[in-house]
A = this chain, B = another copy of it.
Amino acid sequence: MTTPEAHDSTSVGIVRTKHLHFAEPPNELVLTSGNKLGPITLAYETYGALNADKSNAILVLHALSGTAHAAGYFTHEDRYPGWWDTYIGPGKAFDTDKYFIISSNVIGGCNGSTGPASINPASGREYGIDFPLVTIQDMVNAQWHLVTHLGIDRLLAVAGGSMGGMQALQWTISYPDMVQAAIAIGTAASISAQGIAFNEVGRQAIYRDPHWNNGAYYGGPPPKNGLALARMIAHITYLSEDIMHEKFGRRLQNTEMLSFAFKEEFMVESYLHQQGIKFVNRFDANSYLYITKAIDYFDLKSSHGGSLIAAFENVRSDFLVISFSSDWLYPTPLAKEIVKALRANGAHVIFTEIETSKGHDAFLLENEMLERNIANFLRSEYSKRTNTNPDR
């Protein structure tokens, strides 16, 4: 792995996305809904090297719109690194000099893994909304194939923010013996009514775009208007009011005076428009529907007889749970609910609420406290593992 001169020495350098193929019929993956899905392709990347006893593997899991590309650059010309490059690399929190990092995409997505834009073997055409609804548990079950394929019996850690945190929690429940530790950041055992409401208005923005065409748009123009609007709505929830005030306030963009016309003129409007436009070039509208639905459906309490304590009953992992003080989409009380239920099961849990004005997006941004918390937790978990592993 070479570090391009244009990129700094803490980068994992040039990387490429790999693809695992599995669940060939008749061995399809059985989904939570009872439907079957196969064949499946799962996109992933790895950074660092797996050690001899395979004790240093960490699975990193992305949020709603993430991809397998969590760190490094695709080319020397690439201007933007992977989505968690701040935290993954030599000497960083997920230290690639020590750990072997696996970053897995999710099924239902649109960045190399099987999703609604994939070819449905039954029809020979794109699935569209014939793609079955997948849950966080289904995503995790697909990732199990990846981890097993890589020959790893027990992950040092699973880690993610937002929907990535949901996957991390689900890993500890679905595969308790395979997860030594979990890092769940800015997440919840289920999102709030308000969270469902925001996801639903985003989906409605897509449904109401005539180009959506009930999901069958792959031969024609995609529903860019609807998807961009969904993203604009969601972006409001990713920022806190404080950081919006700080970044934009009521300032105007490229103008001194109000226009008295219907155009974007406040900076905050321009920001949202840019976010919408950027998004439609990299994301599929149907995947947005599937993944928001997976988030809405995730509910560790209701899927375990109404008890979050019962949900974590068989868990054997240690936990680092982190919330952000200004995150109103996944607020601290939801993190505390997880911590409480885990502790009721005797789990070893470290919980921190990080003070920041940056809202939900904070998990993606540079933050010294986040860096330190992850680094220390992983160091402690790794030494715990090596101490109890005398043949190493």
Contact = CB atoms under 8 A, between A and B. Distances in A.
Nearest to A207: B262
A194 B272 contact: no
A250 B306 CA distance: 12
Interface stretch (A225-233, A346-354, A369-377): A225-233
A272 B132 CA distance: 26
B132 A250 contact: no
A192 interface: yes
A135 to B, nearest CB: 9
Interface string A351-365: 000000000000000
Q: How many copies does the complex hold?
A: 2
B197 A262 contact: no
Nearest to A252: B302
A197 B133 contact: no
A357 to B, nearest CB: 13
Contact of A250 (B32, B196, B267): B196
A236 B302 contact: no
Interface in A185-210: 190, 192-194, 196-198, 200-201, 203-205, 207-210
20 contacts: A32-B260, A133-B260, A193-B267, A194-B236, A194-B239, A196-B268, A197-B269, A200-B264, A200-B266, A200-B269, A201-B229, A201-B233, A205-B208, A208-B209, A208-B226, A241-B328, A241-B331, A250-B302, A262-B289, A328-B328
Interface of A: 32-33, 35, 129, 132-133, 190, 192-194, 196-198, 200-201, 203-205, 207-210, 225-226, 229, 232-233, 236, 239, 241, 244-245, 247-250, 258, 260-262, 264, 266-269, 272, 289, 293, 296-297, 299, 302, 328, 331
Q: List 7 tightest A-B contacts by C-beta distance, closest first.
A: A193-B244, A33-B260, A133-B260, A193-B268, A208-B225, A194-B241, A200-B269
